[in-house]
Structure 1
Amino acid sequence: PAVNIEDKILPVGPSGSVLVRIVRPKGVNGTLPAIVYLHGGAWIAGNAITHDRIIREIAHGAQAAVVFVEYSLAPEAQYPVAVEESYAATKWIAENGHKLELDEKRLAIAGDSAGGNIAAAVTILAKERGGPKFVQQVLFYPAVDDSFATGSYEQFQEGYGISLPGTRRYLDMYCPDETVRAQPTACPIRATKEQLSGLAQALIITAEADVLRDEGEEYARKLLGAGVKVTAVRFLGTIHGFVTLNALRETQGAEAAIGLAIETLKKGFCSATV
């Protein structure tokens, strides 16, 4: 889809600057709702180029501006740098969005895989720090646990795109200190009921043949248990990355999951204006 793209350096975060790409649907004027997007790539890879297609689709479909955060990557930048940069960029948008024709009251957050981890962490952190507030969170196959001991890890640890040794290695590069992983902003599944209660309504999308499937669904259950409105959908016949991998874009699963995410975001924005 045709979009307008603006790259901007925000004067925030641990290092004093965070690069964001703001993607708006072409030909749409006036103030738009905003979706902060945190990309996947195992905390060590990914950028606005690898995720260009999905953020264009979301911006166009939801008629919203996608604020894509180029957080610092591991292993050079380890936890909590990516989380703090992403939170700082989100807070800046929530406080200054009007200067960029972004509606601060219609703010959503989304992420895939490792970006789903960071999006969940930012949502938890925003509650802890008194804002910003989100109307919706959308997590595509998020990495939220460090146990590597679920049934989906057992079943799909080899031959389905990401492996058990791979995910263990990537988490070690991002957050090598196992004691630190007990913090919910490192592994969101560790959050208490109190830390999760009152969070924005959530859409969690998981892939059937994915090592991360079970932890994503367990996180959905924890949110439900804390009183959060949750829609959790497992797409059969799909692998990790099916929403964001361009080679899988034409599959039924990708088509349906992207459509569901867009409709959910639109509903979230509508509810915020009522």
Structure 2
Amino acid sequence: MKELAVHNIDEQALETLIARAFEEDIRSGDVTTDSIVNPQKQAKAVWQSKDEGIVAGLPVARMVFQKLDSNLEWYPVVEDSSLIKPGADIVKIQGQARAVLTAERIALNLVQRISGIATITRKYVEAVKEYDTQILDTRKTVPGLRTLDKYAVAAGGGGNHRMGLFDLAMIKDNHIVAAGDIAKAVKNVRTNNPEIRIEVETKTLNQVKEALDAGADIIMLDNMNIDQMSEAVHLVGDSAETEASGGITLETVAKVAATGVDFISVGALTHSVAAFDISQQLQEIF
């Protein structure tokens, strides 16, 4: 089975995201911390887990803190993408006290979201580990956070689907209506973008046949039942890759994988995130 590419963190996009987060949260200054804490003071703090799961995004948090204190010392206790239990220390921090307090919430918000996505992704990956099927994310992400959401899925062991509208042609039902039929839609994309891979969303076996005849690289089996998916996979064979999508849950994902599909995309990985609970404890100011 071919794997779709894993997208790395775009550092420029990340720096822009962090700058926007600072503008949103801090703007002219942290009126509470700046009123209470002497700017010359240093602080030690520790992050602790209050959940069990995959903790990820620690390099992102470090960037947040070091934006306020470039000399801040960062001592990870666990590796990024590690499985941890409640009460575990995650990272120890030492730096300017104001920076440690002011950057806390932005850093935690990002890592808690990333870790939440990584944790649920790992559960899906574990559920299909007996099959030659890869769990994928979708474009159902918060605008501006896609780079981190995709990173989080990869940290949980999943794969990244297209990053956006520019790196894979996804012909969906409305595109088919606009073009007239599947064959015309595929032909139009091939003519205008001969190097791009093409995926076609299908809802029936007849559409699967049409997509196959049109030369689609990937055929999405959208909201099909298990019997339909099994028949579609058999029909496609090695002529294209297959992707199951639509309402797939942890309770059903193994049955879907058993049909032989190459990929299973799950929008809930990123559109219904349960944040991973982490706290920052100030240990000392000196």
Question: Where on the TM-score scale, by shorter chain, does this alignment land: which range?
Answer: under 0.3
The structure showing larger relative contact order (alpha-carbon pairs under 8 Å, at least 6 residues apart) is: 2
Please give the TM-score of this superposition, normalised by the length of structure 1: 0.27
- TM-score normalised by the chain length of structure 2: 0.26
